[in-house]
Amino acid sequence: MTGIVSKWVVLREHAVSADDVDADNNVLDEVLARWVDDVCSAYLERCRMLSKMRNRDGLVLRSRVGPLPPGARLGRPSAVAVSAGAREIRPSSFTIAVRLRAAGSTTEVAVNVACVVSLEDPATGETRELGDDIRDELVALEHGAEHYN
Angle formed at CA 65 by CA 2 and CA 17, multiple of 5 degrees: 55
Domain ranges of the chain: 7-148
The one-letter code for the residue type at 1 is: M
**pLDDT under 50: residue ranges of the chain:** 1
Q: What is the pLDDT of residue 25?
A: 87
Give pTM, 2 decimals. Answer: 0.93
**CATH for 7-148, among 3.90.180.10, 3.40.640.10, 3.40.50.620, 3.10.129.10?**
3.10.129.10
How far is residue 9's CA from residue 141's CA, in Å, rounded to a whole number? Answer: 7
> So what's the pLDDT on residue 5?
76
Res 132: pLDDT: 97
pLDDT confidence of residue 2:
53
What pLDDT, on a 0 to 100 scale, did the predictor assign at position 106? 64
pLDDT score for 3: 63
